[in-house]
A and B are shown apart, each in its own frame.
Chain A
Amino acid sequence: MVEVTGKPLDRVDGRLKVTGAARYSAEWDVPGLTYGAIVSSAVAHGTVRTIDSAEALQAPGVLAVLTHENAPRLQPFPEKVNGSLFRGEGGITETRQPLQDATVEYAGQPLAVVVADTLERARHAANLVRITYEQRPPELTIDSSSRRTLPETFTGNKEEKLQVTVGDPKAALAAAPVKLTQVYESGITHHNPIEQLASIARWETRNGTDFLTLYDTTRGVENMQEVVSHSLSLPKENVHVVCPFIGGAFGSKGWLFAPPLITVMAARVVKRPVKIEWRRQDMFAVAGQRAATRQTLALGATRDGKLTALQHDTQTHASQSSGYTEPCARVSRMMYAVPNLGFAHQLSHLHLPSPCPMRGPGETVGGWALECAIDELAAELNLDPVELRLRNYAEQNPETGKPWSSKHLRECYARGQEMIGWDKRNPKPRSMREGNNLIGYGMATTMYPAARRPAKAKATLFADGRALVQSATHELGNGAYTIFRQISADGLGLPVERVRFELGDSALPAAPTSGGSATTATIGPAALAACRNVLGALKRLAIRDAQSPLYGATEDTVEPRDGRLVRTTAPTQGEDYATILRRAKLPSLEAEGEAKPGDEREKYSFYSFGAVFVKVRVDELTGTIRVAQLCAVYDVGRLMNPKTAHSQIIGGVAMGLGAALMEETHYDPHNGRAVVRNLADYHVPSMADTPNIQVEWLNIPDPHISELGARGIGEIGCVGTPAAITNAVYHATGRRFRSLPLTPDKILPS
């Protein structure tokens, strides 16, 4: 049978999605459902003095109003969850437990929830809750923060230190014949998935104990189960988290737990199921964000363009109760062969909402700053930007000295240049013009760490010839259902239409939070292991069965072929899976499998690479930029499905285009409220902004990452794109822009 992995299979859940049959978290039909509406803080810093629910409680249909004064008590937030640091400096999440105290740490912080029999009544009554505050002046900028820290690691990962010096970058900079120091700034951005946060909580008594079913927009059912059960002092197995479909996450929906916990508490109090669907406005306070950054890049080089020093220092911010630190040096630490390398991250705690990862955390804005600085150095040295990068090509990881598992970046540069017609441009800045527009070409390198984590899966063969493979991973819109069905079909040796894949349920075999572009490399091998194990069990059934043509064989002389088990030396002797099960009178046969990274992680440095080339038009007199052409080539290992991969990568590129040109959330400089809080004011790229994004990939399997040879592709498209666009705008205008996004007000010559 021909393998289906690597083929452009149509999305298996596409029909469900376009017909509305895919069940999203807010759409579960739970009998007796009631509705919660949130009252959030009007101020950014202070204490709730009084909270008056009397009028709301009298409004029609209202069942309860929960505030910090009457909400159930929760355990303090856990320190670590499934190995990740949650609390403290560098910790990944907001550790404030909701509705537990009167402290206000940011505007939009949930302070009360009103539960009513309809959504409309709940929302109306929420407007009748009166809150008075003891206000204190909020600290809202990196420079005004009275609490600044230097976090040691990103999320407690010892492999990811945030304060690092290799060699002596200071001395090397001082001695460098050519040096460049520039400051790059990026604003706050939001994930803004189409599906807003939503939870439905239902409490039951099962076997005399409390049992919670939680439908939630989470891409981490395991973490959610852990945090919720810990917070409520419940056994883990008494919490069941369900999420079969997610309408986009992009870094949100993984690390902030107050929204589901509020729903869970509300359901406990009203003793009925409660649904809370957060409004788009709320998403700018409770769904996480990419924090603003100010990054200082210092480069030292020889006159022939060899980097001698790189120092990348970041100032960024988190809330009062999160230590999340945008890890901006993720690209700088590994991209170029530079002997003296340093980076530092300073965190200012502010009275703004908590940040969290957003597509390419660190890489998107940190890589932007680095790749713009490299472009500036190329101009300074009068070198082609590609040539400067080739002169500093890293043959191994400069921070750790480890060899790459697989790196073919030179091919990406070469193909990208061909695609865009790099040699047809006049390299002189501000030299190309068409009508009202200046024309510019720019490029940048892109990368993404190729993470892999432990995971489990279960495979079941049925006597009717079908099979099911399951793992508690997630479908974020990325194609997980599709590629894991493909991988499982090949692992079982069955046609793809006979195999189903299930996910998004904490009762399934454990899988980590879907993030960090790690899902394919994590779940794929686990699914294959489960498939192997179930086929092993099937073989044992057959070879012990005197009526089987395989009777008496040994396991290693029997193999799956086209839905049958056959003798390797005599493939005509064999029988199909269903026959074996039926004769054994088994309706099904199942086996678990587990896969985890091994010591290859000690030997190699795992990354994907790519190169992005862009042509822009800049109408300088109105400040308007359009991307005319965007070509990118990626080295991401072996592709599991070129069709879903293409969609995922061009989606990432479009998000990078948004980061470059238009996406930004402003908070009021005095009261800290989000001033951009809807999708009319928060501009994501429209179709009219997006050119025909041309992407190619090398499709060279990574020999070390796993038996599949596949690295993740969720984020690499977003990284690199902002710098390629910014560098193209420089080439068009001859002017450097060091502040994202490149909105018209910044481009207009003053």
Chain B
Amino acid sequence: MHPFNYQRATSPAQAVAAVAPAPSAAFVAGGTSQLDLMKEEVLRPSLLVDVAALPLKTIGALAGGLQLGAGVSNTAAAMHPEVLTRYPVVSEALLAGASTQIRNMASLGGNPLQRTRCPYFRDPAQACNKREPGTGCAALKGINKVHAIFGASAACVATHPSDLAVALAVLDAQVQVVGPAGSRTIAFPDLHRLPGDTPQQDTTLAHGELITSIDLPAFTGRSHYLKVRERASYAFALVSCAVALDMDGKKIKRARVALGGVAHKPWRVPAAEAMLAGKKPSEKLFRAAAEVAFADAKPLEHNAYKIPMGRNLLLRALLETSGLQPLQGPAGTAFAASVGGMGGE
């Protein structure tokens, strides 16, 4: 681990003031992924400013929706009754991720900012443009089983690992930020970016900008998260899918669909969403939407399986969200979100 200084922030403004002037300073909250990367010297911050104790840990009503403080733990958010009942997609995504211990430490503000699980990024001896711009991308011709099928570039084929981010992408969530240039609001789909030729930048946050809350607008529709992984618990998504459906009687008024594990950011599929709007739910419709959603997928050597897996998953997520098929467990739980369920009878 590279030597670093450590400070506890006293207020969001003070935290920003501490980080902003030092290009290699960083915020730390739960540190669940950040500290691993520091031990590997993938991240080498000169200064860590700890924001975990800041008063950003409340969940409260906001204009018919909910404001989730950036310091709220994954566990607390997932178990909050308002989140569970009104935004089950958020609880399901959170509870289908990581382990209990990690969820207890991780924060809502940090979760969407976790770095990719691309194994080439995490090994400093491998070529990786995200870690060290200009060194190349070893994953492109390496073992790319868990990599992107959408939106990748020749510089980077990494995927974003957060389950929560996929859920937030279908809720029109807004990210409140304070920074050296003041406060601003970022629409959640604009928080993350595609790699292009600057894959070292995961997000559109400027250096020194701190997330203070994630705001969920009012939502009365149905929402659901579904995830495929290589074991029943504690594994990142091969492919995941978040769906939010606003209903108008028996018809879908508006559909929002995002895919996880397939791109550098939560991958919204506008063509599929448009196809669903104004239609009555049916398996045929959903199949057609799933086809459209993956029409532009560009697989690498080892990840073509994500296309049929993703289509099948999206179809099932739509069937379950619309009620055409039952959920596989109580809404808002990991059982609803986990394809295959647990071992045992």
A625 at the interface (CB under 8 A from B): yes
Instruction: Output the least CB separation between A40 and chain B (Å).
Output: 9
Taking a contact as CB atoms under 8 Å apart, the answer to whether B232 and A626 are in contact is: yes
Instruction: Contact check, B309 vs A691: say whether CB atoms are below 8 A apart.
Output: no
- Cβ-based interface call for A383 (8 A): no
Q: Is the CB of B228 within 8 A of A623?
A: yes
Query: Given A42, A624, A692, which contacts B228 in the complex, CB threshold below 8 Å?
Result: A624
Q: Which of B305, B341, B344 has the most CB of A within 10 A?
A: B344
The 0/1 profile, CB within 8 Å of B marked 1, for residues 585-627 of chain A is 0000000000000000000000000000000010101111111
Q: In the complex, are the beta carbons of A619 and B339 less than 8 A apart?
A: yes
Q: Point out the residues of chain B lying under 8 angstroms from A436, CB to CB.
A: 316, 328
A744 adjacent to chain B (CB < 8 Å): yes
Given contacts A628-B343, A675-B120, A691-B343, contact A748 B308 (CB under 8 A): yes
Contact status of A626 and B125, CB under 8 A, knowing A120-B1, A662-B231, A689-B232: no
In the bound complex, residues from chain B placing their C-beta under 8 Å from that of A619 are 339-340
In the complex, which residue of chain A has the Cβ closest to the Cβ of B235? A683
Q: What's the least CB distance linking A693 to chain B, in Å? A: 10
- A680-B236, A686-B232, A688-B232 given; A745·B305 CB < 8 A: yes
Proximity bits, A653-693, B CB within 8 Å = 1, else 0 = 00000000110001011110101111011010111111110
Q: Are B231 and A668 in contact (CB-based, < 8 A)? A: no
Asked whether, in the complex, the Cβ of B231 is within 8 Å of the Cβ of A685, the reply is yes
Question: A680 to chain B: which residues have CB within 8 Å?
Answer: 117, 234-236
A670, B133: Cα distance in complex, Å = 21
Query: Which residues of B in the span 328-345 have a Cβ within 8 Å of any Cβ on A?
Result: 328, 339-345
With A669-B142, A744-B228 already in contact, the answer to whether A688 and B308 are too (CB < 8 A) is no
Chain B contacts for A624, CB-based, 8 A: 228, 339-340
Residues of B within 8 A of A572 (CB): none
Residue of A at shortest CB range from B345?
A628
Interface of A is mostly: loop
In residues 471-494 of chain A, which contact B (Cβ within 8 Å)?
none
| B36-86 at interface with A (beta carbon < 8 Å) | 36, 39-41
A123-B1, A675-B120, A686-B233 in contact; A628/B344 too (CB < 8 A)? yes
In the complex, are the beta carbons of B126 and A668 less than 8 A apart? Answer: yes
Is residue A743 contacting chain B, with contact meaning CB distance below 8 A? yes
A748 neighbours in B (Cβ, 8 Å):
305, 308-309, 312
- Given known A-B contacts A124-B2, A617-B340, A622-B340, A670 and B309 have beta carbons under 8 A apart: no
User: CB-CB contacts of B311-333 with A at 8 A, as 1s and 0s?
Assistant: 01100100000000000100000
The verdict on B3 contacting chain A, using a C-beta distance below 8 Å, is: yes
Interface residue tally on B, bucketed by range: 35 or more
Smallest CB separation, B193 vs chain A (Å)? 25
- Interface size grouping (class) on chain A: 35 or more
Please report the C-alpha to C-alpha distance between residue A578 and residue B339 in the assembled complex, in whole angstroms: 65
Which of A127, A688, A750 contacts B342, CB < 8 Å? A688
Give CA–CA (A626, B316) in the complex, Å. 18
Known A-B contacts A622-B339, A624-B228, A692-B344; the reply to A681 vs B119 at CB < 8 A is yes
Contact between B230 and A744, CB atoms less than 8 A apart? yes
Nearest Cβ in chain A — how far from B314, in angstroms? 11
In the bound complex, how far is the Cα of B123 from the Cα of A624, in angstroms? 29
Nearest residue in B to A121 (C-beta to C-beta)? B3
Contact of A749 among B230, B231, B308 (CB under 8 A): B308
Q: Does B18 contact A (CB under 8 A)?
A: no
Does B205 belong to the interface (CB within 8 Å)? Answer: no
21 contacts between A and B (CB under 8 A): A124-B1, A124-B3, A281-B40, A622-B309, A622-B313, A622-B316, A622-B339, A626-B341, A626-B343, A627-B343, A628-B343, A668-B126, A677-B119, A680-B234, A683-B230, A685-B231, A685-B343, A686-B231, A687-B233, A748-B305, A750-B308
